[in-house]
Amino acid sequence: MNPAILALEDGTVFEGRAFGALTERSGEVVFNTSLTGYQEIFTDPSYSGQIVVLTYPQIGNYGSNDEDMESVKPYIEGLAVRDFSPMVSNWRSDQAADAFLKLHNIPIIDSIDTRKLVRHLRTRGVMRGVLSSISTDVKGLIEKARNIPSMAGLDLATRVSTASSYPWTSPVEPCSPSERLRGVATAQGAYHVVAFDFGIKRNILRRLVSSGCRVTVVPAGTSAAEVLALRPDGVFLSNGPGDPEPLAAQAAEVQKLFGKTPIFGICLGHQILGLAMGGKTYKLKFGHRGGNHPVLNKQTNKVEITAQNHGFAVDPDSISEHVAEITHVNLNDMTVEGLRHKSEPIFCVQYHPEAAPGPHDSLYLFDDFTRLMQEHKK
């Protein structure tokens, strides 16, 4: 086996074995605590610019397949795991995970102490790093890590967004019985939703269609006038990578849609809505990434177990109580997880209710969105 090195900007180094592509990639080193769904993590555009550490010890054992793709390709810069399995055993597998990442020039390091690495990132905060399977120059790799641009202030959403508009018509498959019953609405496309692509995941689009929506996906830079020309029943703001603060122009365009149509935002879309409501955002120490984050729904007083992937949050003190109310909070650190406008049909959540991968506690939000559009149509 070829050696691989993960070097962090603070001089910490992890040495292991190389899988995937024999290459060198750099980015912000973050960790995800999900127990399954690694291919969905690989292909989530929100991980653009990041090397992902998976805390579950064995990765790769069920291979990869076309159905679990959340976008057209993997977006992670590199992968760090405890035990990468070169053997695949699953009836759904089309390709080994090793071959899948190698095809897209993504390096993997395994046989490292991922618990030690995650504890280090929790204590010090996420940091820049270089993953190399072609160089053993430790000092040189550390220096490279220190020269990587910081994620703070970085606009990655416009880089991963679609270049042109396109329709999306595929529902969730296989559908649950309740989703099959809603198939009539799905086929008719009862509500036309214009979805901003800041790095959108396919399962979000599938969930919208399964809720009875006809979806048009538009680039991140689409103006409010262009959106309204499409005559939407509602507007959706997607997840995506990078810092929300550089997206001031997008937030300004979204603000122009207030009062014109219902709006639903997820993750980066939540942060953009926070900016459009006059708020501010800030960078978290190590972010929230995983499928088991407890969130309190303050409207129902129920706890939802949620899937999350974000490194920034909306500052609660920056949101005027006359403009919006905080509807959801993270029970681990009390950060803002949901907002609802006081006078307009606008709401958003920081987490991922489409849950690919993750629990389905929050799927009701898609039905809330369709109800808002139905009421707005009257």
CATH code of the domain containing 136? 3.50.30.20
Distance, CA of 55 to CA of 291 (rounded, Å)? 12
- Residue 280 pLDDT exceeds 80: yes
pLDDT score recorded for residue 176: 52
pLDDT score recorded for residue 209: 95
Mean pLDDT of 61-83: 97
- pLDDT, mean over the chain: 94
Amino acid type, 116: K
Contacts of 36 (CB under 8 A, 6+ apart): 56, 357
Which CATH number belongs to the domain containing residue 252 in this structure?
A: 3.40.50.880
Residue 42 included in any domain: yes
Do 59 and 133 share a domain, yes or no? yes
Do 221 and 346 share a domain, yes or no? yes
Residue 151 included in any domain: no
Do 163 and 132 share a domain, yes or no? no
Provide the pairing of β-strand 324-330 with 83-84. Answer: unpaired
Do 37 and 186 share a domain, yes or no? no
Do 120 and 187 share a domain, yes or no? no
Do 206 and 256 share a domain, yes or no? yes
Residue 194 included in any domain: yes
User: pLDDT > 70: what percent of the chain?
Assistant: 96
Distance, CA of 319 to CA of 136 (rounded, Å)? 48
Residue 356 included in any domain: yes
Domain that holds residue 212: 157-377
Residue 190 included in any domain: yes
Do 132 and 25 share a domain, yes or no? yes
Do 247 and 360 share a domain, yes or no? yes
**Number of compact structural domains in the chain:** 2
pLDDT band at 182 (very low <50, low <70, confident <90, very high): very low
Do 163 and 135 share a domain, yes or no? no
- Residue 42 pLDDT exceeds 90: yes
Mean pLDDT of 332-339: 97
Mean pLDDT of 164-186: 68
267 catalytic, yes or no? yes
Catalytic, out of 40, 70, 77, 354: 354
Mean pLDDT of 320-324: 96
Among 82, 117, 146, the domain boundary falls at 146
- Residue 184 pLDDT exceeds 60: no
Catalytic, out of 267, 288, 293, 310: 267
293 catalytic, yes or no? no
Among 113, 146, 179, the domain boundary falls at 146
- Residue 174 pLDDT exceeds 80: no
Catalytic, out of 288, 293, 328, 352: 352
Residue 302 included in any domain: yes
Do 261 and 354 share a domain, yes or no? yes
175 catalytic, yes or no? no
Distance, CA of 72 to CA of 80 (rounded, Å)? 22
- CA dihedral (295, 200, 195, 164) in degrees, to 10, reads 170
Mean pLDDT of 272-286: 97
Contact call for residues 170 and 208 (beta carbons, < 8 A): no
Distance, CA of 76 to CA of 31 (rounded, Å)? 12
Distance, CA of 46 to CA of 242 (rounded, Å)? 8
Do 137 and 164 share a domain, yes or no? no
Residue 198 included in any domain: yes
Beta bridge partners of 266: 349
Give this prediction's pTM. 0.94
Do 304 and 343 share a domain, yes or no? yes
Among 121, 146, 171, the domain boundary falls at 146
Burial of 292 (0-12, 13-18, 19+ CB in 10 A): middle
Report pLDDT digits (tens) over 231-268: 999 999 999 999 999 999 999 999 999 999 999 999 99
Residue 152 included in any domain: no
Distance, CA of 85 to CA of 63 (rounded, Å)? 9
